[in-house]
């Protein structure tokens, strides 16, 4: 018979010594072993429950704050600690920036292990709240119950429907959200209007385990132009119910300029392969970055913090150092926003992206802005960037690459080493994978500038822009 591993007793009155990365802080056991803890900040004295115990390190969860750090402040959101977003609200924003700067420096140094210039001072967000332009809320038959609710219940609590955000690590449980500080109005008005209407009319929320129900998601985009797009996602057609709820939204939530619905009968929530129906208003909204206009439809990708996207792109454009004579290649170009933003300084812009729908949006965005020197191609960079392609379109003088969190593929890095553009501007949302890629690119490139930009206050996420110049 196998024996259950004996549970470690809690560690009491442990000092949190430092911040690590990815939202973790560091404490130590009596023997010096490092413990990584979520939710604590340096200076806290806490009680810790060990969740994972390895030979040289351990993971723990904070059971109680015995003595709070002098840095600790009261979170401003009633849902803090439950919904899983904005996990750093207990830390003043200026201190968040200190730790984010430290994270970039530590990861590039420790993982990259290449010669680096000093990391420039992080560019913080002028908006600490209401900075997102897109949020997605979920309807679920299962409201997430807190530990306190479960412990204090006198009898079993029947499942209660909820409209809000998925609970961390749980695909079927949703934290009911009343007020969210991530996105400006009419976001909170809309979700509370929907909650009241759906409860009054007994409309069925979706059960993710049974894969049964009607209401699935609502996606809200609020642009700095004042335009608002809403897309209600339902499981199947019910014309009477659909007409009722769409009209109720239209009549009771002012300011929506683009109202849609999508029928998604699949198991997963992705709508990129589903038809989106425009119920009222224009089929898209418009967003501005400097003087450039971008069309955003329900399926479009766009940086979720518009103000900081502009700051990030300004850094990218400065690092590119365009003089009007260069051929600029924009890899992972998405809907073309970076290439278009930098286009005034380039002789030609070539955008490459694996998603065909994004390429269509990129071409349309270039047309909206009257740009005739921007071309966009769908496919893998390694397959597109052949000698024949270079003969037709020109070799790159500057490359901008903005990969996903996983970083660039080894094939693409090898391709960059072959292309030998004089400059590469690497925009990253994950300094750890960026550091790995910089190490591989070190064979031909030297890192000459580094600039962190904070896109997501109250989270541990951080963007970093690196300028690489070809070695002599």
Mean pLDDT by 10 residues, the chain (472 residues): 65 92 88 91 94 91 94 94 90 96 95 94 97 97 80 71 90 92 97 97 94 96 97 97 98 97 94 94 95 93 94 98 96 93 96 90 95 94 86 93 92 90 96 96 96 96 97 86
312 with 461, same domain: the answer is yes
145 with 240, same domain: the answer is yes
81 part of a folded domain? no
Strand-pair partners of 312: none
CA distance 32 to 140: 44
CA distance 73 to 80: 12
Q: What is the predicted pLDDT for the residue at 152?
A: 67
359 part of a folded domain? yes
175 with 285, same domain: the answer is yes
Strands, sheet with 346-353, edge to edge from the N-terminal-most edge strand: 374-378, 346-353, 326-331, 398-401, 423-428, 463-470, 445-453
244 with 323, same domain: the answer is no
Maximum distance among all alpha carbons in the chain? 75
85 part of a folded domain? no
237 with 161, same domain: the answer is yes
Q: 112 near 105, Cβ under 8 Å?
A: no
| Domain encompassing residue 37 | 11-72
398 phi and psi angles, rounded to 5 deg: -135, 135
* Residues designated catalytic: 429
Task: Return the CATH number at 359.
Answer: 3.40.50.150
82 part of a folded domain? no
168 part of a folded domain? yes
Q: Which among 123, 40, 216 is positioned nearest to 463, based on CA atoms? A: 123
User: How many domains is the chain partitioned into structurally?
Assistant: 3
Structure pTM?
0.91
Strand-pair partners of 464: 428, 452
Q: What is the predicted pLDDT for the residue at 382?
A: 81
CA distance 285 to 292: 14
156 with 177, same domain: the answer is yes
Q: Which two tokens stand for residue 460?
A: 């541990």
261 with 408, same domain: the answer is no
299 part of a folded domain? no
């Amino acid at each position: 018979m196998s024996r259950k591993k004996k549970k470690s007793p809690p560690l009491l009155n442990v000092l949190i010594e430092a911040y690590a990365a990815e939202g973790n802080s560091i404490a130590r056991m009596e023997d010096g072993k490092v413990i990584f803890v979520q939710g604590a900040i340096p200076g806290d004295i806490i009680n810790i429950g060990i969740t994972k115990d390895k030979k040289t390190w351990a993971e723990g969860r904070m059971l109680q704050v015995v003595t709070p750090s002098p840095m600790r402040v009261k979170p401003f959101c009633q849902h803090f600690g439950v919904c899983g977003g904005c996990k750093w609200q207990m830390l003043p924003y200026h201190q968040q920036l200190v730790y984010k700067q430290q994270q970039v420096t530590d990861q590039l140094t420790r993982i990259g292990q290449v010669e680096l210039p000093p990391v420039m001072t992080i560019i913080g967000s002028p908006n600490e709240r209401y900075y997102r332009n897109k949020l997605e809320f979920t309807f679920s038959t299962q409201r997430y119950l807190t530990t306190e609710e479960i412990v204090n219940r006198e009898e079993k609590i029947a499942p209660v429907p909820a409209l809000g955000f998925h609970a961390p690590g749980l695909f079927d449980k949703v934290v009911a959200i009343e007020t969210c500080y991530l996105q400006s109005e009419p976001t909170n008005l809309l979700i509370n209007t929907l909650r009241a209407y759906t409860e009054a009319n007994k409309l069925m929320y979706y059960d993710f385990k049974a894969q049964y129900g009607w209401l699935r998601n609502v996606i809200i985009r609020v642009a700095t132009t004042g335009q608002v797009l809403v897309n209600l996602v339902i499981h199947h057609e019910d014309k009477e119910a659909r007409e009722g709820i769409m009209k109720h939204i239209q009549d009771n939530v002012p300011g929506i300029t683009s109202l849609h619905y999508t029928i998604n009968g699949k198991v997963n929530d992705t709508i990129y392969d589903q038809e989106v129906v425009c119920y009222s208003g224009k089929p898209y909204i418009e967003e501005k970055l400097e003087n450039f206009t971008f069309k955003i439809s329900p399926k479009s990708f766009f940086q979720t913090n518009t103000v900081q996207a502009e700051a990030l792109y300004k850094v990218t454009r400065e690092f590119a150092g365009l003089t009007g004579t260069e051929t600029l290649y924009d890899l992972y170009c998405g809907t073309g926003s970076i290439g278009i933003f930098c286009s005034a300084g380039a002789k030609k812009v070539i955008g490459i992206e694996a998603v065909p729908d994004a390429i269509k949006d990129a071409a349309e965005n270039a047309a909206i802005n009257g740009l005739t020197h921007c071309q966009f191609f769908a496919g893998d960079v390694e397959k597109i960037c052949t000698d024949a392609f270079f003969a037709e379109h020109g070799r790159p003088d500057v490359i901008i690459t903005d990969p996903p969190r996983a970083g660039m593929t080894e094939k693409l890095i090898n391709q960059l080493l072959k292309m030998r553009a004089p400059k590469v501007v690497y925009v990253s949302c994950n300094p750890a994978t960026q550091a790995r890629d910089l190490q591989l690119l070190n064979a031909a490139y030297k890192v000459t500038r580094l600039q962190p930009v904070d896109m997501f206050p109250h989270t541990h996420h951080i963007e970093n822009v690196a300028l690489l110049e070809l070695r002599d």
